[in-house]
Amino acid sequence: MSEIIMNQIPMNKNPKFSPEDIAAILGQYPPTPEQAKIIASPHDRPAVVIAGAGSGKTETMSTRVIYLIANGLVEPDKILGLTFTRKSANDLAVKVRNSLRVLERSAEYRAKLGVNDKVRIFSGEPSISTYHSYANKIAASHSLRLGIEPPESMLGEAAAWQQVEKIVRNYDGDMSDVESLLSTVIKDVLKLVSQIKEHEVEILRITEFTEQFLSEVLNVEPVARNKFAPYYADVLPIITAQKARLQLLPIVERVINERARKSELTFDDQMSLAADIAGKFPDVGAIEREKYQVVLLDEYQDTSASQLRLMQALFGGGHPITAVGDPCQAIYAWRGASSDTMAAFPTDFRSRDGKLAESYTLLISWRNDHGILDLANTVSESLRNPINSTGNSNSKISKLGPKPTAAPAELSCGIYATVELEAEAIADHLVSFWSKEVREKLPELIEKKKKDPTFRFVESTAILVRNRSQISEIESALRALEIPVEVVGIDGLIHIPEVAEIHAMLRVIALPDAGTALMRLLNNGFWRIGPADIAALGKFARSRASEREPGRNLVERVLNGSDVESDELARSSIVEALDELAELAELSKVVQRGSSKSNVRDSFSEVGFTRLVALAKQIQRLRKKVHLPIPDLIVAIERELYLAVDVALTEHNRRYLDRFIDEANNFYSQGGSLSSFLTWIDVADREEGGLRAGGVEVRKDVVQILTVHGAKGGEWDLVVLPGLAEGVFPSDKSGENWLKDEGTVPFPLRLDRDRFKPLELQRCITTTDVRDEIGNYHLYCNDRKGDEEQRLAYVAVTRARSHLFCTTSWWRNGKNFVPPSSLYKDVFNQVVKVGGEVAGEIDVPPTDPENPGLVNPKSAPWPVDPLGKRRPNFETLLKALQNNNSDFSIISENTQLDQKILELKSGVELALQEQQRDKSEIIVKLPPRLSVSALLALATDQKEFAARIRRPLPFKPDPIARRGTAFHSWLEERFGDVALLDEDELPGSADEGAFDESVLSSLKEKWLASEWGNRSPIAVEVPFERTIAGVLLRGRMDAVYSTPTGGFEVVDWKTGSAKSGRELELAAIQLAMYRLAYAEIANCNLSDVGAAFHYVSSQETIRPADLLDRNGLIDLIDQVPTS
């Protein structure tokens, strides 16, 4: 064996290879002049790179890393790269690792170095991770120096919410000035806790400041006004908010003390702790600077005050640190990020000689075509501020320029009468890209694009909404035209019909006043209660309230101090009234006709009364199960409402139901109660940015609907921006303002206070002066919010590669028409400029005196038919199958009939099974969702598989399985996907018989020596969901490689012994499913995708022949009845 020489490259001061040389060796396009300048910039001083949207910052920064390593300027393991999401960390790590492999194998590179091909050049790898992962390492290594025990696990968003909710509910202190709902109080407390740690401010300091502020406001000279109202109405909410904050601070203190007592940290707490450690112990910074000679910070515009503190303490003082970001994409101010961070970098990170950090730009967009790019530059015009903090007005950020292959973009816009017509127009627009005929041509379009870089077509599509309330109408319009659609995120998930019904039932069984939720159940597709019976139920609820408190009129209730609205709601709760109907049904069996009880029943139709009583009993049954874990309760509701039938008739099948159950399971596993889960969902739905996400996963098989905030980091061929109306997008909501918001730390106490305009109350003499000063401050805060809305608009526009469609409507949900927003006007002007299609007249307001949607509301049959237009097909197929399948063959063979009838088959069969279910006979049916491994178990032994479904039992811990998990974790890390656990943290790693390191090391060596060791996959850990024969199959592919013929090969890593014969035949079912799933993901023919097992121990790669196709998999599943 040849001697392995590590790190053969001598450390040099003068580079041998230029950026162009590196690109040529790597087989990449040569860098542009601006890219080359950044790649070859000095590596011994701080710098900031302003990188516009789609400007190739990841490619540039990865090449910068390779340039430094290849020239021996920095050793690989002396480089630290930090970003926000695992996806971004993965992208950068994979690019760097793959490039190093290419260099390692390059004869040209070795020749210039004078190194033979048997010598290993590079040792170690750059450390690339998320900011929070890096902060965790700092905190875990040094927190004991502050007397803080490192937490065993982090408090997730859900767990933190539960903790605060419990403390708030049990708090018995004075809350007389707090007027907010429970959910708002929890949100405010969480925000205060986070900001207090973020900005290193003591609770006592906030108390003193707030009391001083109130004193200044309350002690000014009043003007001649009513002695009962000495302050202006617009000042009173400010006083109330400050008093409310004072009453919330004791709760905040309890939360902080509780976390300290239990050694619990949220991710924000962890970041603040790491910053505290770095600031208090200078030797920590010395250690990190010695460890990392070069530091790269990605998405720097989104860094918070704690992250800035951490980076300054560790890598300030002129250490080589490079920040990359785009100030025009700073949209997370509500999460603690400051929009001024990028501009302040040159001052915050001066060089060792005290000079401002160097500034560079990346201003060529490699994403957007002409037209879209011009629009983006128009939108960002007011945002391109000086990139340094010297106030030099001549130092402006230039606009983005086009890529060499940029083509004319397809821009269009439309202004419609109503929101409903706007949604229908969006659906009509998408049909031309998402019809079945067009999607079948995708493989040929992809091939054409390879030959002509300027050719454009639509493969991926996203609809980006400003408010989640827009989702439902748009999604319904798309489904009406049978366009495949996915709503991204739990905050959008709860608007999906089947999930909304479960959410409604959860509220009804947990909250006695959930009348709105009950209304959802009354008119859903299952119960279908008509308007007359709903009106009768409301009348019964009111009469019931009057009978209970006959002597209390409105005046009496007010004099007794009641909140009239809530009191009335409690007295006339239709939820409780529905409960009494069930009791009334029992009494009616013995009550004489004509009595008052009988008259109540006569108010309802016979069918309506029967259904209402059945619903009441259903709710009572489910209330008895409220003690169950939340996921189990959801499953019980699903069964009671027969939702499995509903979703079986949709093309998305169980996808959304399962995702909701996953979210519930995650919440419950952290100790959450049902009430806290419901509150958490409500806040997720209301919050502007929704829940924190790890980056959007762009899909090409569905139209994705998500918020603009959630779309950051993604890009699609076609983007639709709806609702560009005044006050909607850009939004007219007030900006962050500590005067109005009790959940915000006062700006003068924050670490970034110098970036805010001061409130100058010292100049105020009278209450009029106070009013005017506060009014001006409100305008200032709203202007900051206006800038953030403009940045949000820039993010939205730049998500589109080649097609952009923007819409709005004159009439929205109010009584007055709403003109198009400034953003729509910018779009309109650009569309006209490029000759795009325009619908509607922008300068001709509607002549309707009132909102047509209110005057002539949308009409539809009530009760709602969940099948809608599919009802005739459903009835046809139902009749055929009820007749012992004798008519089914006629339908399937009749080419004149609508083939969509056959697509309903699995749903209709499931409906019949539910209808004819015989509970006296135990029949184990195939679950509606399976993992690929479960599918393999089904094929191997149906009886054993049925027994497992009937009575699930835990499997005995398997050392071989653990060995496989550890090996896969190593591969994930090697391919750049950050491993969630270290090998010694794997479940069962300490058990008797667990794998040992020597076995794992042997597996690593054998894999590296195999044919796959030097190849780079195009994708790793690829998740998928596909419906086959009515069953949702879910899985994850280990790796996908490109083949010399232009196809793909899916590879599954096996650490056990190689299979053969019948065992291999059964195992190949797994590959068959992977192959089918990836063919659909890649929009290619099934014949273009191969699949293989690689058995690492024996170093064998086996490619089974005659893998099952879709029909073969259907035949396999059809052997077992589904449920």
CA 454 – CA 408 distance, rounded (Å)? 9
Q: What mean pLDDT do residues 459-474 have?
A: 90
- Higher-pLDDT residue of 825 and 226 is 825
Give 1059's pLDDT tier (boundaries 50, 70, 90): confident
User: What pTM, to 2 d.p., does this model score?
Assistant: 0.73
CA 1056 – CA 1109 distance, rounded (Å)? 26
Distances (CA, A) of 761 to 136, 173, 226, 774: 42, 31, 23, 9
Percent over 90 (pLDDT), the chain:
28
Q: Which residue has the tokens 């127009």?
A: 425
Instruction: Find residue 1041's DSSP bridge partners.
Output: 1049
Domain ranges of the chain: 30-93+125-138+272-366, 155-264, 410-489+693-734+793-855, 497-671, 868-917, 931-955+1010-1117
> Which SS3 state, helix, strand or coil, does residue 297 take?
strand
CA 370 – CA 377 distance, rounded (Å)? 11
Q: What mean pLDDT do residues 26-49 have?
A: 91
Tell me which of 5-19, 61-75, 761-775 is least confident: 5-19
Tell me which of 248-262, 436-450, 503-517, 643-657 is least confident: 643-657
Read off φ and ψ for residue 517, nearest 5 degrees.
-65, -40
Cβ distance 1080 to 1022 under 8 Å?
no
Read off φ and ψ for residue 494, nearest 5 degrees.
-70, -5
pLDDT tens-place string over residues 96-107: 888 888 888 888
- Higher-pLDDT residue of 740 and 218 is 740
Q: So what's the pLDDT on residue 584?
A: 73
Q: So what's the pLDDT on residue 913?
A: 63
Distances (CA, A) of 897 to 878, 889, 891, 902, 908: 15, 12, 7, 10, 17
pLDDT at 92 over 60: yes
Q: Tell me which H or E stretch contains 683.
A: helix 674-686
Residue type, 516: T
Question: Do the domains at 30-93+125-138+272-366 and 410-489+693-734+793-855 have one common CATH topology?
Answer: yes
Q: So what's the pLDDT on residue 459?
A: 94
End-to-end CA distance of the chain: 59
> Which SS3 state, helix, strand or coil, does residue 116 take?
coil
Q: So what's the pLDDT on residue 900?
A: 55
Cβ neighbours for 108, distance < 8 A, ≥ 6 positions apart: 25
Q: So what's the pLDDT on residue 341?
A: 85
Give 1011's pLDDT tier (boundaries 50, 70, 90): confident
- Higher-pLDDT residue of 826 and 219 is 826
Tell me which of 38-52, 337-351, 680-694, 770-784 is least confident: 680-694
Q: Which residue has the tokens 């000014």?
A: 220
DSSP per position, 348-413: HT--TTSPPPEEEEE-EESSPPBTHHHHHHHHTGGG---SSTT--TT-PPPPPEE-TT--B-EEEE
Give the pair of three-digit tokens for residue 263. 């050694």
CB neighbour burial string for 769-791, b if at least 16 within 10 angstroms, e if fewer: bbbebbeebbeebeebbbbbbbb
Three-state secondary structure readout of 134-155: HHHHHHHHHHHHHCCCCCCCCE
Strand order in 47-51's β-sheet?
127-130, 79-83, 294-297, 321-325, 47-51, 358-362
Residue type, 267: F
pLDDT at 378 over 80: yes
Cβ neighbours for 811, distance < 8 A, ≥ 6 positions apart: 417, 418, 419, 817, 818, 846, 848, 851, 852, 853
CA 126 – CA 93 distance, rounded (Å)? 8
Q: What mean pLDDT do residues 637-649 have?
A: 80
Q: So what's the pLDDT on residue 925?
A: 56
pLDDT at 391 over 50: no
Residue type, 379: V
CA 873 – CA 1066 distance, rounded (Å)? 37
- Higher-pLDDT residue of 367 and 577 is 367
pLDDT tens-place string over residues 785-825: 888 899 999 999 999 999 999 999 999 888 888 999 999 99
Cβ distance 792 to 730 under 8 Å?
yes
- Higher-pLDDT residue of 445 and 886 is 445
Q: So what's the pLDDT on residue 285?
A: 93
CA-wise closest residue to 660 among 476, 463, 503: 503
Give 287's pLDDT tier (boundaries 50, 70, 90): very high
Give 1's pLDDT tier (boundaries 50, 70, 90): very low
pLDDT at 561 over 70: no
Q: So what's the pLDDT on residue 888?
A: 53
Q: So what's the pLDDT on residue 547?
A: 61
Cβ distance 46 to 322 under 8 Å?
yes
pLDDT at 500 over 80: yes
Fold topology of 497-671: PCRA; domain 4 (1.10.486)
Q: So what's the pLDDT on residue 364?
A: 93
pLDDT at 896 over 50: no
pLDDT tens-place string over residues 505-514: 999 888 877 7
Q: Tell me which H or E stretch contains 837.
A: strand 837-839
Cβ neighbours for 224, distance < 8 A, ≥ 6 positions apart: none
Cβ distance 130 to 85 under 8 Å?
yes
Give 216's pLDDT tier (boundaries 50, 70, 90): confident
Distances (CA, A) of 483 to 422, 491, 499: 16, 21, 20
pLDDT tens-place string over residues 245-261: 999 999 999 999 988 88
Angle subtended at Cα 356 by Cα 354 and Cα 360, rounded to the nearest 5 degrees: 150
Q: Which residue has the tokens 């009509």?
A: 428
Tell me which of 90-94, 297-301, 611-615, 930-934 is least confident: 930-934
CATH superfamily of 410-489+693-734+793-855: P-loop containing nucleotide triphosphate hydrolases (3.40.50.300)
pLDDT tens-place string over residues 150-199: 776 677 777 788 889 889 988 999 999 998 888 889 989 999 999 998 89
Cβ distance 348 to 312 under 8 Å?
yes
Cβ distance 742 to 241 under 8 Å?
yes
pLDDT at 1026 over 60: yes
> Which SS3 state, helix, strand or coil, does residue 807 take?
strand
pLDDT tens-place string over residues 122-135: 878 899 988 988 99
Q: What mean pLDDT do residues 262-267 have?
A: 84
Cβ neighbours for 282, distance < 8 A, ≥ 6 positions apart: none
Give 7's pLDDT tier (boundaries 50, 70, 90): very low
CA 652 – CA 1026 distance, rounded (Å)? 9
- Higher-pLDDT residue of 778 and 767 is 778
pLDDT at 951 over 60: no
Cβ neighbours for 1123, distance < 8 A, ≥ 6 positions apart: 644, 910, 913, 925, 926, 927, 928
Give the pair of three-digit tokens for residue 257. 């003390």
Please tell me which of 93-97, 379-383, 600-604 the model is most confident about, judged by mean pLDDT: 379-383
CA-wise closest residue to 663 among 516, 488, 881: 488
- Higher-pLDDT residue of 338 and 801 is 801
CA-wise closest residue to 219 among 772, 767, 768, 771: 767
- Higher-pLDDT residue of 243 and 553 is 243
Q: Which residue has the tokens 């619903």?
A: 615
CA 331 – CA 78 distance, rounded (Å)? 32
pLDDT tens-place string over residues 48-65: 999 999 998 888 888 999
Give 977's pLDDT tier (boundaries 50, 70, 90): very low
Q: Tell me which H or E stretch contains 321.
A: strand 321-325
> Which SS3 state, helix, strand or coil, does residue 498 take?
helix
CA 899 – CA 896 distance, rounded (Å)? 8
Instruction: Find residue 704's DSSP bridge partners.
Output: 462, 486
Q: So what's the pLDDT on residue 568?
A: 39
CA 471 – CA 492 distance, rounded (Å)? 7
Pick the CATH number of 30-93+125-138+272-366 from 2.40.110.10, 3.60.15.10, 3.40.50.300, 1.10.8.350: 3.40.50.300
Q: So what's the pLDDT on residue 956?
A: 43
pLDDT at 924 over 80: no
Percent over 70 (pLDDT), the chain:
77
Please tell me which of 312-321, 572-581, 1054-1063 the model is most confident about, judged by mean pLDDT: 312-321
Residue type, 812: R
